[in-house]
Structure 1
Amino acid sequence: MQRRLRLGLMALKYALRVREQLAALDEILALAAEVPEMQAVVWVKIIETYRAVDESALDVAWRKHMPKLDVENASLIAKKWFAEGKAEGKAETLLRLLGRRFGEVSPRYRDAISAATIEDLDTWLDRAIDAMSIESVFVPVAH
């Protein structure tokens, strides 16, 4: 039970820490290997939210820690890459729009954009069109 909790909390913690995701991946997956009932959940979390983890890092981690995972997980990785491309496109569009409307975009907002979900990016894009300030674009999004 304690390993499950630790694994879940660790996976969630680094979902929001884009700059630390790659460094934490090995530790998270080593722990996931010890908690088989949570492996699929952890993989989905990493695939959906860990933007700093690219295809090659996932492949290396997969082979090292989860060599027995089935082909279904490969399709999850493919879905991640598709979603990643979609999110990157929206993030680039948002950064361009914000730059045109409000000037240089601060690192604080760049980090928020790089860690955002597609839903958040869509909301911020809609707001950026007629926002009076960059701050009003980033009012917390209710899920």
Structure 2
Amino acid sequence: MDNMAYKPQYPETTSSPQYGVPYPPQTQQYPSQTQDYPQQIQQSSNNVTVVTTGGYQPAIVTTPVERDWTVPAVLATLFCCFPIGICAIITAVNARNQYLSGDTEGGRRSSILAKRLTLSSVILGVVLIGTIIGLYVWVLSSFYDYY
């Protein structure tokens, strides 16, 4: 392998440098270190994202705040159908984390799924509790009619 490709090429001189004679011009050009590259800085909060680029005015982008379904999911887990409610809690927390990280589309999708799971838990819980109460009343009424 030829290592000459990796070594800088210098003009060969056989004599010592002479004073007052300028050096030969450099053939290799390096990029300027003072070029202004735009730097992007993002600062995010719950619903406002500020994007600044080097030398330009900051742009403020507002994102709509979606409803947080964490509290209704916890209540649905405690008082209705807990297996579906646990999934609703996990999805609601995931939606909140996605919003806080700036992923509004993913947060919106997770929020919609959390809403559906929470409402499903409430509906299924009401149906199950109503069925249990109805069976209890039916069994008690048939027991007292028998004696």
Higher Rg: 2
Larger relative strand fraction: 2
TM-score (norm 2): 0.32
Larger RCO, structure (CA 8 Å, separation 6 or more): 1
TM-score (norm 1): 0.33
